Each structure stands twice: as structure tokens, then as C-alpha cells.
Amino acid sequence: MKFGVIIFPGSNCDHDAYFTVEHVAKQKATFLWHESHDLENCDAIIVPGGFAYGDYLRTGAIARFSPVMDSVRKFADGGGLVLGICNGFQILCESGLLPGALMRNVGLKYVCKPVHVRVENASTPFTNSCSEGEVLTIPIGHMEGNYFCDPATLEDLKKQNRIIFRYCLPSGEVTASANPNGSLENIAGISSAGGNVVGMMPHPERSAEPELGCTDGVKIFHSMVEAFVAR
């Protein structure tokens, strides 16, 4: 399986994602430059974390117009697997690949720490290595992680089982105290209607090896590989 990791001006988690794919998940990876339309025959695309184009205007607002995102939209429309992590989640929302928006954290402070997220849907190409209700420990690092959408969109997300992760306590209980950023209904990650696009604020590439203090994040990458093999 071949992963493409996009590099925007300001990306700073691209090499982390690349390393996790190549050295932990043991899959081929290549970098994709933001000015190129060529996805180089990749089987999955990772839109990484960072501060694409300096996050000017608002997070992801400029990145949505990059040539590579035009190709990513077409790739996703054809059923290709796309994972947006942190700033990547913001970019996917701005690009229309996912609904809603990521606003400033409640409290207006940057939050960087390990959090617990509950797997709400274990039947996606990104969570098939998990079990429903499983609690994962994965770090966050963001200023705009406060997910918001209108009531109709929220209802659709619930009905279609498209809320993939929720912030929770270590016990799995979803509470206000477990919400690090004020995100609507503790939402930490969602999927597209087709299930082939997922955006998540936590960084699975930062929790994929014992040296990082946690290995739960590697399950996301293993799930993508298993989904591809099962096609």
C-alpha cells in the first residue's frame, strides 16, 4: 500500500506521519507537494497537522485552494482513503470534504496534552482495528479544535454513525470535563458520508511507538492498511 503525505508551507507533522507509515506500519510513503496535482498513484492520502500557509485568514482557508487539494477532492469522490489530522481536519472541512468547522478552543488557549477518545464507530476503514467503545490515548496539540456544525448536520452525523471519536474519561464516559476544547458533543473526529474520508484532531502519529509513551495511534494506520487489503 502506498501513502501520500501532503506538504504545505507551514506543515510540521508531515515527517512524523511519513515516519509512522514507513517505519511503524511498514508501508510505502511519499511526500506530495502542495503545488502539484499529481497524487503519484497513492492508495491513501494523509493531510497532516501544522499551520498550512501560516493559518492566515483562518485555519485551512488558504490550503483549500492549493492544486493538490483539487486532486484530493477528486480522489475522495472516487472512494480513495483520506485522513486529515489536526490542521488536516481543518483543511478537509474548509475544502468541503467534511462538514462543519473548527473554531477557537474554549478559553482561547493552545492545548497540548494526551487525551482519551472513545471509538464510536469501529466499522470504518480507519477504525477496523479497534472495537466500538474502546478508549484510545492520543495526544492533541491545537488552538482551533472546537468542532461545530449546525443542528441539521449534527443530526445527520448521528443518524449516519459518522461521529468516529469523542473525547472521554479513561473509563469511557463522555463528560464536559473530558472535553479539552469545547467541541460540540465532545466530537474529536468525523467521517464523510461515504466513510472514506476521516478528520480527527488528535495526532495518531504521535502515539504510535512505545518511546512516545503510547501506541494506540498506530491502530488508525493499521486499520487503513487492513481496509485496503480487504478491497
pLDDT at 231: 84
Beta strands 135-142 and 28-33 are unpaired
Total domains in the chain come to 1
Q: How many residues does the chain have?
A: 231
pLDDT at 98: 98
Q: Which of 125, 112, 123 is nearest to 203 (CA)?
A: 112
Q: Which of 138, 141, 148, 128 is nearest to 212 (CA)?
A: 138
Q: What is the pTM of this model?
A: 0.97
Cα 37 from chain centre: 21
Q: Which of 159, 81, 146 is nearest to 111 (CA)?
A: 146
Distances from the Cα of 71 to the Cα of 66, 94, 121, angstroms: 9, 15, 28
Domain containing 27: what range? 2-230
The DSSP secondary-structure symbol of 182 reads -
Q: What is the CATH number of the domain that holds 82?
A: 3.40.50.880
- pLDDT tens digit string along 189-229? 999 999 999 999 999 999 999 999 999 999 999 999 999 99
Q: Do residues 115 and 167 touch, judged by C-beta distance below 8 A?
A: yes
Q: Do residues 84 and 199 touch, judged by C-beta distance below 8 A?
A: yes
Alpha helices in 78-165 (DSSP H): 87-94, 151-159
pLDDT at 23: 96
- pLDDT tens digit string along 158-191? 999 999 999 999 999 999 999 999 999 999 999 9
Sign of CA pseudo-dihedral 207, 218, 55, 90: negative
Strand partners, 165: 119, 189
Residues carrying an active site annotation = 86, 203, 205
